[in-house]
Structure 1
Amino acid sequence: MGRLLSSVEVSRLLGLREAKVRELARAGLCRPARRGRRYAFSFQDVVVLRAAKELVERHVPAARIRRALAALTAQLPEGRPLSGLRIFADGREVAVRDGGAAWQPATGQIVLDFAVDDLRRGVARLAGAAGAPCGAAGASGAPAEDARAAFEAALELEDLDPEAARDAYRRALALDPELVDARVNLGRILHEAGDAAEAARLYEEALARAPEDPIVHFNLALALEDVEDRERAIAHYRRALALDPDFADAHYNLAGLCELAGRNAEALRHYHAYKKLTEG
């Protein structure tokens, strides 16, 4: 089981107010564990909350979201996680994509997702325009705007089809290997899909191009935690904090690792810093 996240960490990851995170949890849209009076969110909870956030922003009622998630859980084989699915709004209804199929779990109705197909075609056009193998695209003089267009397409696809988003980020990198944001986002998607080792490799490549970016150090540390390389994770959390001393989540994660390593004084210092930054 992966490390559980606090409401503050989830709010930062999803761009929500902490109060909104707690509100969505209280509405029954996920089932976080408890640490005393506080919620402790699993990766699966974060996946569901991210979907719930997007559905609420599309004005889908919370009760409808809750019913759809319950129906979806009942439809899936036992043990199948929601993290492999894409949950999105179809008008004011909840819809789900699994590979090439999309449907409304509450009714079973098939959904035709034209937006995904349009974006895929756009990425395919960019691939054709590059006209070079992935390994040679950067040397072929492909215009930077094509790489940026592939990157923008990937951003759109993340919310519709993560597999297509991965392909689009890879195309962007083929066109411009120096596009750090594409490397970081691809790493994040792969990490969310469970491939922490490949995510770590991508983050390390990103750091070779942007060594002073605290977010990349933080992301790499998260991936290293998941491949049980705790000492290197500690080093990158420390580097993230050297670059951004107010990075609350880095303080919290580093405190946990220091505690596991028996470095209690350092752990306590970072817990205090986290509390000061998040509670005032």
Structure 2
Amino acid sequence: AMQKQAAGMENPLIEAGAFTTRHHRIAFRHEGKLLEPIAGQFLIDFASEEKVVARKSSAPLKPVPIESVAELFARGIALEDNPATESAAMDCYLKVLELDRSHAAAHINVGTLYYNHQEYRGAEQHYRAAINIDPRYALAYFDLGNVLDETGRVMEAIQAYKTALQLAPTYADAHYNVALAYEKAREPRKALRHWQAYIKLDTSGPWSVHARNQIQRILQSDGLKLVPKQQSN
């Protein structure tokens, strides 16, 4: 009788859950009981020791959460400060750009990682991409100026720094770097104006000391002097 019941199933693997017993035999659950189809015998149901080999899932799997662009970018910033995790930071920024090609700040940070490893071509590509996305991004012009300067394109670097200063006139680092670039180009008088602007913005830092020394050197070598403004009566 038991055999007929098992044989009467059109497809036992579908109509009854299939299990392997402790002795690796295939058995089926039929009408709430475990049945060994060949012998036609019910088996003792060691439920805690059986392994399900075929059954339908009662609940859908939850999707693996995907980090948002903001979360990936923030994680990249946290990883970037440690040289040991720079490659992981790069992966985060590149993932950001896969999700949002118009993320100018991610382009900047990828460019900076390239720049720090003297991979100037990659750095320049990403800085220019940031500028294309946001033409008023002063930092992008500043960073591009640094790449241009490092690769010997001093006059182009000066133009990039000047654009940064047009967008952000109190950008102290841009004043400092354009002054250096003007000195490389042997235009000390143009450098002088930016050294003077720099020391107004940074009055006591170590770079300010260097700027003051440069001002003094230029004034002495060119026979220039600062003329104090006369107070009006």
TM over 0.5: yes
* Residue from 77, 84, 89 that aligns with 1:155: 77
Aligned-residue offset at 1:181: 1.1
CA distance in 1, matches of 2:199, 2:76: 36
Is 1:216 matched with 2:140? yes
Question: Paired residue for 1:191?
Answer: 115
Contact 1:258/1:267, CA 8 A, preserved across alignment: yes
* Residue from 137, 153, 164 that aligns with 1:240: 164
Higher radius of gyration, 1 or 2 = 2
Structure 1 or 2: larger helix share? 1
Deviations along 1:72-94, whole A, 9 cap, x unmatched?
Answer: xxxxxxxxxxxxxxxxxxxxxxx
Structure 2: runs of 5+ lacking an equivalent: 1-63, 205-233
**Amino acid aligned to 1:270:** H
Question: Paired residue for 1:57?
Answer: none
Is 1:164 matched with 2:164? no
* Residue from 182, 192, 201 that aligns with 2:125: 201
Higher-RCO chain (CA-CA 8 Å, sequence separation at least 6): 1
CA distance in 1, matches of 2:158, 2:76: 31
CA distance in 1, matches of 2:116, 2:186: 29
Task: Describe how 1:246-261 pairs up with structure 2 within 5 A.
Answer: 246-261=170-185
**Amino acid aligned to 2:108:** V
**Amino acid aligned to 1:176:** D
Aligned-residue offset at 1:180: 1.0
**Amino acid aligned to 1:167:** D
* Residue from 146, 162, 181 that aligns with 2:105: 181
Structure 1: runs of 5+ lacking an equivalent: 1-124, 130-144
Deviations along 1:72-119, whole A, 9 cap, x unmatched?
Answer: xxxxxxxxxxxxxxxxxxxxxxxxxxxxxxxxxxxxxxxxxxxxxxxx
Task: Describe how 1:86-97 pairs up with structure 2 within 5 A.
Answer: none
Question: Paired residue for 1:142?
Answer: none
Question: Paired residue for 1:15?
Answer: none
CA distance in 2, matches of 1:259, 1:156: 36
- The structure 1 segments of at least 4 consecutive aligned residues displaced by more than 4 Å after TM superposition are none
**Amino acid aligned to 1:154:** G
Contact 1:197/1:227, CA 8 A, preserved across alignment: no
The TM-score normalised by the length of structure 1 is 0.47
Q: In structure 2, do the counterparts of structure 1 residues 179 and 262 end up closer, same or farther at CA, with 3 Å as the change threshold?
A: same
Aligned-residue CA RMSD in angstroms?
A: 1.8
Aligned-residue offset at 1:266: 0.9
CA distance in 1, matches of 2:68, 2:151: 35
**Amino acid aligned to 1:153:** R
CA distance in 2, matches of 1:276, 1:257: 19
**Percent of pairs with identical residues:** 33
Is 1:265 matched with 2:168? no
Deviations along 1:155-188, whole A, 9 cap, x unmatched?
Answer: 2222340011111111110111011111111111
CA distance in 2, matches of 1:262, 1:152: 42
**Amino acid aligned to 1:171:** K
**Amino acid aligned to 2:166:** A
